[in-house]
Structures are given as C-alpha cells and as structure tokens.
C-alpha cells in the first residue's frame, strides 16, 4: 500500500473518531442539561401522586410543569378503606387503595357480630345470638349500645355519625307485596319504633336491597329495582313511580340481583348495575323528570361500591378519578378491582366479577382516620 493511500485512510479514521467524540460530547451535554423537570409525564404523575398534601404543595413550586401535574393529582379528600371481617379471630384488615397497603387491628369488641352499615367512620353491627345492635368506631374504639332488635332478612342504615345530633337508624322489612314494616331508632332510645306502611306499588324488601341517606330522606332500592323513600321527620313512606333502570338482557343472568350498588353524591342518587359478562352501567335519578338516566362520565368523582354501603369522593389522585372501585382486591392484596369510565374498561383487565360468589358480610368501605398511626 502506497504512503499516500495510508495517509488518506488515517485521515478518514481520525475524522470518524472526531465525529464520534463530538456526538458523545453533545449527548453528555444534553444529559447534563436535563433536570428533574424533564421527567416523563407518566413517571412524574406517579411520583407526585404518592406524596402527602404538604409535600405535594412543596413539589408544585419547582416549575410550571410540576405545578400543573401536582395540582392534577393532589389529594384533598381521603379515600375510604376496605375493612375485612374475618371468619375466625379478632384480627381485622384495612386496605388502603391509594397506597395499596394493608393495615391490621385487633378488635375483640366485634366478636360474634356482623356488619350492617358504615358512615362517617362508624360501623353499625348486629349480634344475631343476642339481637344486640351497636355502633362501634374501630379507630377510636368507642362503642355505643342501642336497644335490642331482631333482624331477619332486612337491611339497616343510619343518617350520620351517632355522636351527631339527629342521628336516625332506619330499616324496612317486607310484610306483603303491598305492605312494609318500617322500624326506626336513635342513640339514647330505649326501644325501636315499628310501623306498617302501605305501598302504592309492589315493593319487595330483602337483604339484597340497597339503602342510602340523602337530603334528609332514606332511599331504598328494592330487589326488582323500585325505589322507596322514607321521611324520618314526617314518618312518611312512599314508592316512587319511577320504572327500574333499563339494562341489557345479559344483566339478568345468574345472581343478577346481587350485583347492584347504590350511593349518593351531592344530592344525586346513583345506582351501579354490574354483570359477570360485561361492563357495569351507572344510572342517576333525574328527580325532575323522575326517570333513571345512564351516565357516561362521573365528572371526576370516584365511587366505592360494596354490598352494604357505598360511598362517593371527589379530589382524589388523578388516576382514581372517574372510576368505580369495587370491594374486591386481586394480586395478593396489591390491586383493587376498578372500572374506568375514561377508558371504559376494568383494571386489571377482564375482571368482570360474579358478585353472587362473594359473602355480603365479608367487607365494607369505611372512612379512615387522618392519622392511622395513633390507632396502632
């Protein structure tokens, strides 16, 4: 090989080397120029959603981009926890769907009882053997006894925390297609008051009915989808002339009556119908036109559905908004079954659940304390 050719090859080699070195230097400079503000949006949202409120506010001052993401995922309201009732023993588990963590409390006070309802962090419980009814706060361990009352195939609810003035308990029992027996009580009473009320429309009451207190009234969704209303002040009962929500035929398959849930949000009555072979359908009662309307969005609200009581929340972390969270946890306690109205799918995928397979007294959503560590 001639010397001239060798010099050309060396020059070419040096040029390639210089070019590679220049590219590496540019990459290095770009990496040095990158900051925490350049994190991918999904990763940034995940990180900021895990922060407590005070740290979220501090993080929002980093830059405009962080401020926007931090505001979107900021938790102003607190998510309810899923409380599990063991078949044996006094060890009760509480699942936090935000942190995806499980906490445990020993609660011997609940031995021999079954849960009936929950609201404002309080449980309403019943001991079948003794007919004892009582309130219990699992976080403060405060217990409030009520007069004995025999409950058979019926459900019961209360209007507000038993420590709040005006707390009323309500239960309805089927007597005949055109008659129901309504029983009420309040903390400090010596006995329950029971009165039979006629129905204008057939109303079948059972353990699968749903109860919610809204705008000073108790609403009861019957087994067949009719809605009864009770005014505890005027002691008036009526069945609304509103036909049941319309669902596809596949919703009336096996155990169809067990896959219904009802809650309220800012004065609106919401009903969730589920099916083991399809996506859930959410209805809202139009109280002006007196008919059920199907909802395609929750406008950022999050619903928490369980057999005995369901809840609604606003201002939760971004990934939880416009979702329905069900009382079933998968993957060894790592993921709660939810349905996103934005994506119109279950998370995890293919989680259509046959609610007839689940014990209605197995768990219930409950409002947790601000500081759980004080309860340990």
Q: What stretch of H or E contains 70?
A: helix 64-73
pLDDT at 11 over 60: no
Q: How far apart are CA 169 and CA 174, in angstroms?
A: 17
**Candidate from 1-10, 141-150, 201-210 with smallest mean pLDDT:** 1-10
pLDDT digits (tens, 9 = 90+) for 98-139: 888 899 999 999 999 999 999 999 999 999 999 999 999 999
Q: Which residues are registered as beta bridge partners of 158?
A: 169
Cα 227–chain centre separation: 22
**Candidate from 43-57, 93-107, 200-214, 341-355 with smallest mean pLDDT:** 43-57
CB 138 within 8 A of CB 366: yes
Backbone angles phi, psi at 277, to 5 degrees: -125, 15
**Candidate from 15-19, 35-39, 265-269 with smallest mean pLDDT:** 15-19
CB 95 within 8 A of CB 84: yes
Q: How far apart are CA 172 and CA 234, in angstroms?
A: 16
pLDDT at 363 over 50: yes
Strands 227-231 and 302-305, bridge-based pairing: unpaired
pLDDT digits (tens, 9 = 90+) for 296-339: 999 999 999 999 999 999 988 778 999 999 998 876 667 889 99
pLDDT digits (tens, 9 = 90+) for 224-241: 889 999 999 999 999 999
> In the prediction, which pLDDT does 200 show?
82
pLDDT at 174 over 70: yes
CB 220 within 8 A of CB 210: yes
Neighbours of 182 (CB within 10 A): 21
* Mean pLDDT (the chain, rounded): 85
Q: What is the reported pTM?
A: 0.80
Strands 302-305 and 345-347, bridge-based pairing: unpaired
Q: How far apart are CA 39 and CA 70, in angstroms?
A: 13
For residue 105 the two structure tokens come to 């409390």
> In the prediction, which pLDDT does 31 show?
47
């Amino acid at each position: 090989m001639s010397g001239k050719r060798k010099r050309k090859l060396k020059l070419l080699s040096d040029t390639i080397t210089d070019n590679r070195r220049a590219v590496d230097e540019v990459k290095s400079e770009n990496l040095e120029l990158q900051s925490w503000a350049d994190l991918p949006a999904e990763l940034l949202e995940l990180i900021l959603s895990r922060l407590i409120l005070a740290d979220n506010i501090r993080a929002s001052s980093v830059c405009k981009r962080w401020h926007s993401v931090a505001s979107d995922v900021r938790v102003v309201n607190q998510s309810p926890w899923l409380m599990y009732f063991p078949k044996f023993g006094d060890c009760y588990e509480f699942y936090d769907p935000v942190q995806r963590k499980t906490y445990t409390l020993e609660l011997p006070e609940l031995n021999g009882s079954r849960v009936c309802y929950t609201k404002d962090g309080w449980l309403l419980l019943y001991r079948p053997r003794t007919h004892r009814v009582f309130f219990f706060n699992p976080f403060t361990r405060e217990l409030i006894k009520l007069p004995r009352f025999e409950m058979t195939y019926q459900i019961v609810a209360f209007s507000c925390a038993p420590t709040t003035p005006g707390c009323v308990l309500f239960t309805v029992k089927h007597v005949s297609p055109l008659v129901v027996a309504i029983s009420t009580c309040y903390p400090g009473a010596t006995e329950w008051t029971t009165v039979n009320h006629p129905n204008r429309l057939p109303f079948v009451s059972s353990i699968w009915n749903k109860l919610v207190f809204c705008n000073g009234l108790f609403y009861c969704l019957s087994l067949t989808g009719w809605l009864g209303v009770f005014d505890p002040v005027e002691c008036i009962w009526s069945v609304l002339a509103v036909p049941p929500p319309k669902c596809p035929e596949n919703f009336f398959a096996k155990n169809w009556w067990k896959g219904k849930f009802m809650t309220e949000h800012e004065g609106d009555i919401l009903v969730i119908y589920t099916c083991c072979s399809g996506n859930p359908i959410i209805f809202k009662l139009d109280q002006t036109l007196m008919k059920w309307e199907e909802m395609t969005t929750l406008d950022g609200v999050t619903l928490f559905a369980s057999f005995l009581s369901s809840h609604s929340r606003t201002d939760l972390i971004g990934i939880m908004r416009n979702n329905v969270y069900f009382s079933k946890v998968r993957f060894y306690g790592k993921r709660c079954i939810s349905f996103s109205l934005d994506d119109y799918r279950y998370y995890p995928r293919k989680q259509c659940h046959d609610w007839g397979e689940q014990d209605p007294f197995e768990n219930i959503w409950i409002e947790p304390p601000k500081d759980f560590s004080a309860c340990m």
